[in-house]
């Protein structure tokens, strides 16, 4: 049987995305799968869920690629600078 991976993307405003993803992670690890978590906004510092996942050993790999949450006021930041930040993200 051919091995295949699965990609899940959780997006949207508000809470619940990480919690939903962690539920899927626990189910996958329980079935013997290895899991890679990519976080594009969170910086990877100070999140309790990361400490908990680290206890699962090498079954779960986490890559946090963000610098944390960044908010801009269009009245204070020019459109060119906003475009530069979006491109860098």
Please tell me whether the overall predicted TM-score, pTM, comes out greater than 0.75 for this model. Answer: no
Helix (H) or strand (E) holding 60: strand 60-64
Q: What is the pLDDT of residue 75?
A: 58
Q: What is the mean pLDDT of residues 14-29?
A: 89
Distance (Å) of CA 58 to CA 2, 42, 46, 75: 23, 21, 20, 46
- Counting every residue written for the chain, the total comes to 89
What is the average pLDDT score of the chain? 79
Residue 22's contacts (CB-CB under 8 Å, 6 or more residues apart) are 49, 53
Residue 43 has a CB neighbour count (10 Å cut-off) of: 13
Q: Residues 82, 74: contact at Cβ < 8 Å?
A: yes
- How many CA atoms, within 13 angstroms, populate the side-chain half-sphere of residue 74? 2
The string of pLDDT tens digits covering residues 44-65 is 566 677 788 888 889 998 887 7
């Amino acid at each position: 049987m051919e091995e295949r991976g699965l990609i899940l993307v959780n997006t949207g405003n508000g809470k619940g995305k990480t919690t939903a993803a962690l539920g899927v992670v626990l189910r996958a690890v329980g079935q013997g799968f290895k899991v890679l978590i990519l976080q594009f906004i969170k910086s990877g510092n100070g999140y309790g869920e990361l400490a908990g996942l680290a206890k699962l050993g090498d079954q779960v790999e986490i890559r946090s690629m963000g610098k944390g949450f960044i908010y801009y006021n269009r009245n204070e930041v020019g459109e060119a600078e906003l475009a530069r930040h979006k491109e860098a993200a």
